[in-house]
Structure 1
Amino acid sequence: MKIAFYGSSIVSAYWNGAATYYRGLLRALALKGHEITFYEPDVYDRQKNRDIDPPPWCRVVVYPGTVEALKQVTSEASAADVVVKASGVGFEDNMLLDLVLANARPGALKIFWDVDAPATLAELRADPTHPLHAALAKLDLVLTYGGGDPVVEAYRSLGAADCIPIYNALDPETHHPVPENPDYTADLGFLGNRLPDREQRVEQFFLEPAMRLPQQQFLIGGSGWTDKPMSSNIRYVGHVSTRDHNAFNVTPKAVLNISRSSMAENGFSPATRVFEAAGAGACLITDHWEGIDLFLRPGEEVLVARDGQDVIDILASLSREQAAAIGRRGMERVLAAHTYARRADEVDALLRSHGARTREAAE
Structure 2
Amino acid sequence: MDIVFIGLSITSSWGNGHATTYRGLLRELARQGHRVTFLERDVPWYAMHRDLPEPPYGTTELYASLDDLRARFAGLARRADAVIVGSYVPDGQQVGDWVRQTAGGVTGFYDIDTPVTLAKLAEGDHAYLAPRQIPAYDLYLSFTGGPTLARLRDDYGARHAHAFYCAFDPEAYFPEPTATRWDLGYLGTYSDDRQPRVESLLIAPARRWTEGRFAVAGPMYPSTVEWPSNVMRTDHVPPAEHRAFYNAQRFTLNVTRDDMIRAGWSPSVRLFEAAACGTAIVSDVWDGIDSLFEPGSEIVLVRDTDEVLDVLMHMPDAEREAMGRRARERVMAEHTAAHRARELPSLIASAAASVTDLPATA
TM over 0.5: yes
1:33 is matched with which residue?
A: 33
- Residues 175-232 of structure 1: CA distance to partner in whole angstroms, max 9, x if unpaired? 11233267xx111100000123322222222222222222211111011126222111
Aligned positions of 1:142-161 closer than 5 A? 142-145=140-143, 147-156=144-153, 157-161=155-159
1:92 is matched with which residue?
A: 91
2:216 is matched with which residue?
A: 220
Task: Determine helix, strand or coil for the equivalent of 2:30.
Answer: helix
Give the Å deviation of 1:128. Answer: 8.9
2:248 is matched with which residue?
A: 251
Aligned positions of 1:28-107 closer than 5 A? 28-43=28-43, 45-64=45-64, 66-75=65-74, 76-89=76-89, 91-105=90-104
Whether 2:141 is the aligned partner of 1:140: answer no
Change (3 A) 1:211 1:73: farther
Give the gaps of 5 or more residues in structure 1. none
1:170 is matched with which residue?
A: 168
Inter-partner Cα distance in structure 2 for 1:301 and 1:117: 25
Inter-partner Cα distance in structure 2 for 1:27 and 1:173: 11
- Residues 257-311 of structure 1: CA distance to partner in whole angstroms, max 9, x if unpaired? 1111111221111110111011111111111111112221111111111233321
Change (3 A) 1:49 1:179: farther
Task: Determine helix, strand or coil for the equivalent of 2:29.
Answer: helix
- Of 25-34 and 232-241, the range deviating more from structure 2: 25-34
CA RMSD of aligned residues (A): 2.2
1:196 is matched with which residue?
A: 192
Give the Å deviation of 1:354. Answer: 1.6
2:5 is matched with which residue?
A: 5
Aligned partners of 1:181 and 1:247 also within 8 Å: no
Whichever residue aligns with residue 244 of structure 2, its letter is: A
Task: Determine helix, strand or coil for the equivalent of 2:182.
Answer: coil
Inter-partner Cα distance in structure 2 for 1:253 and 1:308: 17
- Of 70-79 and 297-306, the range deviating more from structure 2: 70-79
Alignment equivalent of 2:263, drawn from 247, 266, 276? 266
Task: Determine helix, strand or coil for the equivalent of 1:197.
Answer: coil
Aligned partners of 1:201 and 1:261 also within 8 Å: no
Task: Determine helix, strand or coil for the equivalent of 2:37.
Answer: strand
Give the Å deviation of 1:349. Answer: 1.1
Aligned partners of 2:219 and 2:235 also within 8 Å: yes
Change (3 A) 1:80 1:30: same
Inter-partner Cα distance in structure 2 for 1:293 and 1:276: 17
Whichever residue aligns with residue 221 of structure 1, its letter is: A
- Residues 300-353 of structure 1: CA distance to partner in whole angstroms, max 9, x if unpaired? 111111233321221121243332221112112211232222222222211122
Change (3 A) 1:33 1:212: same
Change (3 A) 1:115 1:73: farther
Give the gaps of 5 or more residues in structure 2. none
Inter-partner Cα distance in structure 1 for 2:329 and 2:141: 27
Give the Å deviation of 1:163. Answer: 0.7
What stretches of structure 1 move > 6 A for 4+ residues in a row? 359-362
2:19 is matched with which residue?
A: 19
Alignment equivalent of 1:187, drawn from 167, 171, 183? 183
Change (3 A) 1:102 1:84: same
- Of 48-57 and 16-25, the range deviating more from structure 2: 48-57
Inter-partner Cα distance in structure 2 for 1:205 and 1:67: 42
Aligned length: 355
Change (3 A) 1:97 1:315: same
Task: Determine helix, strand or coil for the equivalent of 1:335.
Answer: helix
Alignment equivalent of 2:337, drawn from 334, 337, 340? 340
How high is the sequence identity, in percent, across the aligned residues? 36
Give the Å deviation of 1:83. Answer: 0.8
Task: Determine helix, strand or coil for the equivalent of 1:14.
Answer: coil
Change (3 A) 1:301 1:73: farther
Task: Determine helix, strand or coil for the equivalent of 1:200.
Answer: helix
- Of 237-246 and 153-162, the range deviating more from structure 2: 153-162
Task: Determine helix, strand or coil for the equivalent of 2:265.
Answer: coil
Whether 2:303 is the aligned partner of 1:306: answer yes
1:290 is matched with which residue?
A: 287
Inter-partner Cα distance in structure 1 for 2:207 and 2:125: 44
Inter-partner Cα distance in structure 2 for 1:13 and 1:181: 26
Change (3 A) 1:233 1:71: same
Give the Å deviation of 1:139. Answer: 1.1
Inter-partner Cα distance in structure 2 for 1:248 and 1:128: 36
Give the Å deviation of 1:170. Answer: 2.8
Inter-partner Cα distance in structure 1 for 2:285 and 2:109: 28
